[in-house]
Amino acid sequence: MIGGSFVRGVSGGERKRVSIGNEILINPSLLFLDEPTSGLDSTTALRTIQILHDIAEVVDFIIMV
């Protein structure tokens, strides 16, 4: 459960990663991410960018950060 106004759900960082993953699942030709690491700690931000880099090398779409 992601959560909402009245239900706690997951943290902001988890919600951000889920929304990125959700967009990747629809297999876009272009994925534009506006500040995908804002609000994340440095370790999570680095890992998120590393994963996006790995995905960009394998799939057939462009990721713009």
Strand, coil or helix: 36: coil
How confident is the model over 8-25, as a mean pLDDT? 78
Residue 15 covered by a domain: no
How many structural domains does the chain have? 1
Residues spanned by the domain of 40: 28-65
Given a cut of 70, is residue 61 above it in pLDDT?
yes
Query: Does residue 51 form part of some domain?
Result: yes
Q: Please give the residue that has the higher pLDDT: either 16 or 46.
A: 46
Is 2 a domain residue? Answer: no
Q: How many CA atoms lie less than 13 Å away from 40 in the CB half-sphere?
A: 17
pTM of the model: 0.65
What helix, strand, coil percent values describe the chain, rounded to 5? 50, 10, 45
Residue 23 lies in a domain: no
Residue 46 lies in a domain: yes
Residue 62's alpha-carbon distances to 4, 55, 56, in angstroms, are 30, 10, 7
